[in-house]
Structure 1
Amino acid sequence: MRRFIGRDRELNVLRNALQAVQGAAGSGKPGQCILMRGRRRVGKSSLVEELLRRAETPYLFFTAAGGTAEDELTKLLDAVARSTLPERGLFHEETPDQWNAALRLLAEILPDDSPSVVVIDEVPYLMDRIDAFEGMLQRAWDRLLSRKPVLLLLVGSDLSMMEALNNYDRPFHQRGREMIVGPLNPADIGEMLGLSPAAALDATLITGGLPLVCAEWRAGADVWEFLRDSLDNPISALLVSAERSLAAEFPPQAMSREVLRAIGSGERTFTNIARAAGGIAHTTLTRATDVLTEKRVVAAELPLSLRPSKERRYRVADPYLRFWLAFLDPHMAEIERMRGDLTLSRIKEQWTSWRGRAIEPLVRESLARLLPDGPLPAAPAIGGYWTRSNDIEIDLVGADRQPVAKQLLFLGSVKWLENSAFDSHDLAALQKHRAAITGEPVPLVAVSRSGVGCSGLQAVYGPEELLSAWRGV
């Protein structure tokens, strides 16, 4: 199925876990638990649904909704009634009125001699709304559930809370294996949409690899055709996915939303973000940026060099959300009144300069997957370097550690223009910036969308090389 391109590895992990449960039936503790996390709308629930469809194993799929403990328990009872568990009728007969009792009864109705699957989706809602939920889950798992041949899938979109579930000081520590479901990678997107390497990277910057957004991209359509189609449809996934995700994580009145908008508009420094967010106090901004970075929505980065720096900069971590905040969110009113053509025109005007900076994190991640390669060694840390005044700015810095390195492994520049190659002027600028931060002959690298028109570089990468880093992932 189209939306599962690139999901073979994840499906194999889940299938192998289910086979292990089946093989261990009768062993005393055959149950297995997987803690699955990933950003909203990356396709976690769809991935689990596909496993269940292929496995044809009795299952319960319960999705928490963020209600009270009583409301969630009512939803659990309804989910059990609609499940394919053979003894589900017992729930209707006994109708447990406490979560402890519900988990005990759930363990009782699971088959003893054949595998089953129990899915609890959006677990962070339960952790947040139900007193001592983690402790109740731990006791139910240790004493009852793990003794059944069951695959328990605990799924969540709040990354920090899902990580905390397995912390050493939490009740459920080491009860489950962690599994991260990421968005479709650039190679998956290129294959799914029939795009060239350069176009696949552009599509990554717009869709973020979200399956629902990619599914609306007509195979072979270019960037502007896709954007025109999406902007003409007020309920397109490109328009609505971000707002739904943000509404689930941050209430409308939360200052984090205003700070995120400021960062999404292009502001990167603490002072400029505070100004763009309405002149908020620094203590308020600190709390907001802490929340955003803890939830992995925003990345806070320091220059990577041989000397320490306090010049921290912020960026929106998810490519799709970065695009949405920059181009769509500020102009939603005109899109809703069917003037998406105005929005599209604005995107075209700003696209080249926006893309030139937006591609840099993707380039760094691609190189981290590619290296070692030829004269370039593996780089434990790949970042960038800048000064407060931006008189020195280096797009790519490879080093032995971050943010303060002992050894620089390479320096590089990204030139991502349609019809302009990396030339001798770009090389001279890179050499000048290298001399400003080190006297060593550190290798120089160019990453260019349109090739290189000079010599003197130790390595050159284009769209095809970057995309190759993601094939087979």
Structure 2
Amino acid sequence: MRIRKFINRGKDLETLERLYGREGFTLVLVTGRRRIGKSRLVKEFLKGKKAISVQFEKRLWEYNLNKLNRAIGEYFGIPVPNFSTFSDAFRFIASQSRERLIVFLDEFSYLLRYSEVEAEFQSIVDEILAESDVMLILSASSVGLLKRSFFDYSSPLYGRSDATLNLQPLSFRHLFEWFDGISPENAVKVYAVTSGVPRYLELFEGRKVEEEIRANFFDPNSFLFREAKELLEEEFREPETYYTLLEAVARGKTRVNEIAQHAFLEPKNTARYLRILEDLGILKRELPVGRKAKRGIYRFKDLYFAFWFRFVAPYFEEIEGGFPEGALEEFDQEFNSYVGFSFEEIAKQFLVELNREGKLSFRFTKIGRWWRKSEEIDLLALNEREKQALFVEVKWKNLSKREAWEILRDLERKAELAGLESWEKSHGLVARKVEGNEKLKEEGRLVWDLADFERLISHGGEV
């Protein structure tokens, strides 16, 4: 494993610097799923600044208070103090700091498990630090705990933060910065199993990707083999329930009633669990773009979880017991089909980049999937004000010119079913490779493949 570049966090650093430039007490929350790079972001920000930094552990609060005591002693150059409460520790910090001082409490969510500590921090924020020049940064991987503590109206800490940085995974384009010389096809495969999570990307070289996937997911000693289970156990009190729900989605159950039936739950309870998984960014609820629909469907947003529940979860015990053959056989047979599912998200990001660069015939303001009964369109981009629509099919295939023409013709047929009669319509195709791509473009067709991705992302050229 090699530690890679610090990528795509410039705006977050700018926000932290702006808040650091304020006078007076400042409270900042840094959140996001585990392995997303929260600690790395804050450590980059702390360079050259006066700071007390502590990484809490999943231990009793007294243990973590002792870690804070040691950090205070080290910073002020004094013997390790013996503060018996966090209030006493912060009272000392506030009394001794004469200039802007940052206190970074990493994995603060481990303290939020103790209600008495949560209430104590209300006093610390409202009274002890209120008149100080301290910048308190709290990082938490347990998004659920953080939301309950700072965004639940009944919580003692509700509304106390000055800013919240919710870190997201890297997008597909950033893999070309992360890996030197990676091919677009390998980048697609890496993204399809890591979802752009920096810690997971560190485990890949980006060359013989399918071999790397086998080593990282189907070896019982590998990090990514156990990661999904550990994350669910870390985040939830009922991990088995959430495990079953995600298993259902991986098996193609997308509607609440279908998922509830698989999990032996009441639909109303299932909907609540699914909303929590949506809040955490593991699942997403989709409604068809361009038409009204009350009942949405659930699909994976986090592609690491999508891959894990598709290929690892059904064979977890066998892999753990040293018999991965069944899992590997299914991976060999079905991985290409799975990448097709992931490629829709990548194609969506590609169109968003084209839209941002002004390289489409109009600027869309909404994009997503469309479906009605048995008909579906992979991507529909709309500008509702100007009544312009772009319909796009996404194929993880190598297509001949004739196949591309046939797909576009069928897309034109389906587009007429969308009920946008008075709209200006255009039709496009995104594929792994399209024979005669340039010829089709000269004929006025909107066709893109991985070569266009590479030109846009790596070189900023025309597509």
TM (normalized to structure 2)? Answer: 0.84
Distance 1:106 1:469, change over 3 A: farther
The answer to whether the aligner puts 1:61 opposite 2:44 as a matched pair is no
Counterpart mapping for 1:341-380 below 5 A: 341-372=325-356, 373-380=358-365
Distance, in Å, in 2 between the alignment partners of 1:19 and 1:270 is: 45
Cα deviation for residue 160 of structure 1 reads: 5.4
Match of 1:280 in 2: 265
Match of 2:176 in 1: 190
Cα deviation for residue 397 of structure 1 reads: 0.9
Equivalent in 75, 83, 87 of residue 85 of structure 1 = 75
Equivalent in 390, 393, 418 of residue 413 of structure 1 = 393
Counterpart mapping for 1:260-279 below 5 A: 260-277=246-263, 279=264
Equivalent in 409, 421, 431 of residue 448 of structure 1 = 431
Decide whether the 8 Å contact of 2:388 with 2:424 is kept in 1.
no
Cα deviation for residue 360 of structure 1 reads: 1.4
Distance, in Å, in 1 between the alignment partners of 2:42 and 2:18 is: 13
Decide whether the 8 Å contact of 1:417 with 1:449 is kept in 2.
yes
Distance, in Å, in 1 between the alignment partners of 2:87 and 2:459 is: 43
Distance 1:231 1:165, change over 3 A: closer
Equivalent in 405, 409, 416 of residue 428 of structure 1 = 409
Counterpart mapping for 1:171-210 below 5 A: 171=157, 173=159, 175-194=161-180, 195-210=182-197
Unaligned runs of 5+ in 1: 22-28
Cα deviation for residue 162 of structure 1 reads: 4.1
Equivalent in 387, 394, 399 of residue 382 of structure 2 = 399
Distance 1:380 1:157, change over 3 A: farther
Equivalent in 53, 59, 65 of residue 76 of structure 1 = 65
Q: Any idea what the Cα deviations from partners look like across 1:42-96, whole Å, max 9, x if unmatched?
A: 12123334444x336342314253x6xxx2143122233145321664632xx22
- Look up the SS of the partner of 1:450 in the other structure: strand
Match of 1:26 in 2: none
Q: Any idea what the Cα deviations from partners look like across 1:266-306, whole Å, max 9, x if unmatched?
A: 321223323333x433233223223222333211111112x
Distance 1:427 1:337, change over 3 A: same
Cα deviation for residue 215 of structure 1 reads: 1.4
Counterpart mapping for 1:22-171 below 5 A: 29-52=23-46, 54-55=47-48, 57-63=50-56, 65=58, 71-82=60-71, 84-86=74-76, 89=79, 91-92=81-82, 95-97=83-85, 99-109=86-96, 111-113=97-99, 115-131=100-116, 133=118, 136-145=120-129, 147-159=131-143, 162=146, 167=151, 171=157
Distance, in Å, in 2 between the alignment partners of 1:359 and 1:162 is: 32
Distance 1:460 1:172, change over 3 A: same
Decide whether the 8 Å contact of 1:122 with 1:155 is kept in 2.
yes
- Look up the SS of the partner of 2:368 in the other structure: strand
Cα deviation for residue 332 of structure 1 reads: 1.9
Q: Any idea what the Cα deviations from partners look like across 1:342-366, whole Å, max 9, x if unmatched?
A: 4233112112222212221332233
Cα deviation for residue 8 of structure 1 reads: 5.2
For 1:43, the aligned partner's letter is: G
Q: Any idea what the Cα deviations from partners look like across 1:319-370, whole Å, max 9, x if unmatched?
A: 1111111111221223223343542331121122222122213322332233
Decide whether the 8 Å contact of 1:394 with 1:433 is kept in 2.
yes
Distance 1:192 1:383, change over 3 A: same
- Look up the SS of the partner of 1:411 in the other structure: strand
- Look up the SS of the partner of 1:3 in the other structure: coil
Equivalent in 251, 269, 286 of residue 301 of structure 1 = 286
Distance, in Å, in 2 between the alignment partners of 1:472 and 1:107 is: 50
The answer to whether the aligner puts 1:326 opposite 2:310 as a matched pair is yes
The answer to whether the aligner puts 1:459 opposite 2:449 as a matched pair is no
For 2:412, the aligned partner's letter is: Q
Distance, in Å, in 1 between the alignment partners of 2:207 and 2:56 is: 35
Decide whether the 8 Å contact of 1:297 with 1:318 is kept in 2.
yes
- Look up the SS of the partner of 1:449 in the other structure: strand
Match of 1:386 in 2: 371
For 2:4, the aligned partner's letter is: R
Distance, in Å, in 2 between the alignment partners of 1:177 and 1:18 is: 8
Distance, in Å, in 1 between the alignment partners of 2:386 and 2:297 is: 22
Distance, in Å, in 2 between the alignment partners of 1:160 and 1:469 is: 37
Distance, in Å, in 2 between the alignment partners of 1:309 and 1:19 is: 45
Distance, in Å, in 2 between the alignment partners of 1:420 and 1:166 is: 54
Unaligned runs of 5+ in 2: none
Distance, in Å, in 2 between the alignment partners of 1:267 and 1:466 is: 32
Decide whether the 8 Å contact of 1:446 with 1:457 is kept in 2.
no
TM (normalized to structure 1)? Answer: 0.82
- Look up the SS of the partner of 2:75 in the other structure: coil
Decide whether the 8 Å contact of 1:261 with 1:325 is kept in 2.
yes
For 1:347, the aligned partner's letter is: F
Decide whether the 8 Å contact of 2:54 with 2:104 is kept in 1.
yes
335-344 or 193-202, larger mean C-alpha shift:
335-344
